């Protein structure tokens, strides 16, 4: 059954139009099976002396998508599934490794998928037909990349960021850990207070004025263009995080701060 209503899509940064293909619904029932989220299963341990298991956590399962494409023959009637078109499509969809961004024209969100099955090309004697694709997707959809750039000319500078994540994190809380890229001012520090998160302070000292520092708060990795060993200068190891919803941030050190995030979405 089809997973999408729209006919055009983008995969790994390239459009279906640029490859002369389109999404197609083979099933004519009038219904569309839209994948919203992956399944869940408990991680637990059963004891023969207990009626209930020891529950540890919940594991989120990947989603399975069915995608059918065909050549965009109404726009280009002479197209057929010849060797050139097949090689182009196969190298595009199967040429890379890892999860790639997929977005259909009817969706505001992005699926991160990897094609998993052998390609099935159904053709007629005239080399017309369609390709059936199976893909594994990460459990949730994702927003487009959100970037907030703040030039801090006076202290404090207050900025609001809407954390679009609407699910609990793998740790069971409502926090999201974005990436920060900052050009450090004369003080040689980076200080951000999230007043929405009970005044939680994110503070790094010992930096060099003018250097660019990148903090991946999710992976807990910090790199700088001048300084080394920056993680050791992170106060109380409080990594920067956002709560689901609108966050009010107070940036108290001069410089430029760019916060980048791509949020998991249930919807």
pLDDT tens profile 113-133: 999 877 667 666 556 788 888
What is residue 75's predicted lDDT score, i.e. its pLDDT?
63
Mean pLDDT across 50-70: 86
Helix, coil or strand: residue 11: strand
**CATH 3.30.565.10, domain 9-140, yes or no:** no
Tell me how far CA of residue 109 lies from CA of 168, 171, 208, 215, 266, in angstroms.
Answer: 18, 23, 39, 25, 10
Binning pLDDT at 50, 70 and 90, where does residue 253 land? confident
What is residue 3's predicted lDDT score, i.e. its pLDDT?
60
Q: Is the pLDDT of residue 267 over 90?
A: no
Task: Extract the tokens encoding 124.
Answer: 């007629």
Q: Which residue has the higher pLDDT, 82 or 30?
A: 82
Question: Considering the chain, what percentage of its residues have pLDDT values greater than 90?
Answer: 52
Q: Is the pLDDT of residue 5 over 70?
A: no
What is residue 124's predicted lDDT score, i.e. its pLDDT?
64
Q: CB-based contacts of 242: which residues, under 8 Å, 6+ apart?
A: 161, 163, 165, 175, 176, 177, 178, 194, 197, 261
DSSP element (H, E) containing 69: strand 63-71
What is residue 76's predicted lDDT score, i.e. its pLDDT?
64
What is residue 168's predicted lDDT score, i.e. its pLDDT?
84
Q: Which residue in this structure is represented by tokens 């094609």?
A: 115
What is residue 1's predicted lDDT score, i.e. its pLDDT?
42
CATH number for 146-265 (one of 2.40.70.10, 3.90.650.10, 3.40.50.620, 2.60.120.860): it is 2.60.120.860
Give the pTM: 0.84
Is there a contact between 263 and 244 (Cβ–Cβ < 8 Å)? no
Is there a contact between 101 and 135 (Cβ–Cβ < 8 Å)? no
Kindly provide the b/e burial profile for residues 108-128, where b requires at least 16 CB atoms within 10 angstroms of the residue's own CB.
ebbbbbbbeeeeeeeeeeeee
Task: Extract the tokens encoding 218.
Answer: 């999710």
* Cis upstream peptide for 95 (omega within 30°): no
Q: Is the pLDDT of residue 173 over 70?
A: yes
Q: CB-based contacts of 39: which residues, under 8 Å, 6+ apart?
A: 60, 61
Domain ranges across the chain: 9-140, 146-265
CA-based nearest residue to 171, from 14, 56, 72, 91 = 56
DSSP element (H, E) containing 89: helix 83-94
Is there a contact between 150 and 256 (Cβ–Cβ < 8 Å)? yes
Q: How far apart are CA 25 and CA 102, in angstroms?
A: 17
Listed range (52-66, 77-91, 116-130, 194-208) with the worst mean pLDDT: 116-130
| Per-residue model confidence as pLDDT tens digits over 22-57 | 988 655 545 455 667 777 888 889 888 888 988 887
């Amino acid at each position: 059954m089809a997973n999408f209503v729209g006919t055009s899509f983008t995969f790994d940064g390239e459009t279906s139009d640029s490859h002369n293909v389109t999404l197609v619904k083979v099933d004519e029932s009038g219904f569309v099976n839209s994948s919203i989220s992956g399944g869940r299963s408990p991680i637990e341990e059963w004891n023969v002396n207990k009626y209930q298991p020891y529950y540890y956590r919940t594991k989120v399962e990947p989603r399975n998508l069915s995608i059918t494409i065909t050549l965009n023959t109404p726009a280009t009637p002479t197209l057929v599934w010849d060797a050139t078109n097949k090689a182009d499509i196969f190298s595009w969809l199967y040429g890379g490794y890892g999860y790639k961004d997929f977005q259909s024209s009817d969706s505001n969100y992005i699926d991160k998928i990897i094609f998993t099955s052998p390609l099935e090309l159904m053709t007629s004697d005239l080399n017309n037909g369609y390709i059936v694709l199976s893909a594994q997707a990460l459990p949730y959809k994702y927003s487009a990349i959100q970037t907030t750039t703040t030039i801090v000319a006076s202290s404090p500078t207050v900025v609001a960021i809407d954390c679009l994540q609407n699910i609990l994190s793998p740790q069971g809380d409502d926090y999201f850990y974005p990436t920060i890229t900052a050009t450090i001012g004369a003080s040689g520090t980076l200080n951000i207070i999230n007043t929405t998160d009970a005044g939680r302070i994110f503070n790094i000292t010992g930096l060099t004025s003018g250097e660019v520092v990148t903090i991946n708060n999710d992976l807990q990795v910090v790199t700088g263009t001048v300084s080394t060993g920056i993680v050791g200068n992170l106060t109380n190891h409080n990594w920067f995080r956002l709560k689901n919803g609108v966050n009010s941030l107070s940036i108290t050190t001069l410089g430029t701060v760019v916060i980048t995030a791509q949020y998991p979405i249930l919807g």
